[in-house]
Amino acid sequence: MSVDTWILVIDGRVSLACIPSGERMDLLGLRANLGADLITEATVEELLETFGDSGLPAPPLGRLFGLPLFVDARVANAEAISFAAFAPTDFVEVTYDDFARIERPRVADFIRAGELPQSIS
C-alpha cells in the first residue's frame, strides 16, 4: 500500500499522520479520536522550523524527527507500505510489522470515508 504523510500541528505540537495515498484526511475525526483541542495542517513557518528548507516530501518517520506519528487503521492492516523518502522519485517499501516495530505509531481511524447515503423519507 502506498501511503502519504501529512504534517499537522496537534495542540501546538508538530506531528506526522500517515494515510493511504489518495485518501482524504478527516481532521475532525482525528481530533475526536485523540481527544485533542485543535488540529491544523502545518504552516510554512512550522514546516521550516521542523524540516528546514528542503521542500521535499516528508516520510512517515516520526522517530527520525522526534515527532509523534499517527497511522490510520487501514495502513496498520497493510502487509507492506511504500512512501516517498526525501525526494519525489525515491520510494521506500517496508513490511508494516517492521515499520511499526521501529516507529511505534499510534493507530487511529482518521480518513474520510466518503459521502453519507441519502436518507430514506
Segment 14-40 shows an average pLDDT of: 91
Is pTM, for the whole model, over 0.75? yes
* Residue 53 φ/ψ, nearest 5 degrees: -100, 25
* Higher pLDDT among residues 119 and 30, named by residue: 30
Segment 19-23 shows an average pLDDT of: 92
Place of cell 516520526: 62
* H-type alpha helices, 4-93: 27-34, 44-51, 62-65, 73-76
* Higher pLDDT among residues 113 and 111, named by residue: 111
37-94: per-residue pLDDT in tens? Answer: 999 988 767 666 666 655 567 789 999 888 999 999 999 999 999 998 877 788 999 9
Share in percent of the chain as helix, strand, coil (round to 5): 25, 30, 40
3-12: per-residue pLDDT in tens? Answer: 999 989 999 9
How far, in Å, are 36, 52, 88, 107, 115 from residue 46 at the CA level? 19, 9, 21, 24, 32
In this structure, CATH architecture of domain 3-108: Alpha-Beta Complex (3.90)
Residue 19 has pLDDT above 70, yes or no: yes
Domain segments of the chain: what residues?
A: 3-108
Residue 103 has pLDDT above 50, yes or no: yes
- pLDDT in the model for residue 43: 74
- pLDDT in the model for residue 114: 53
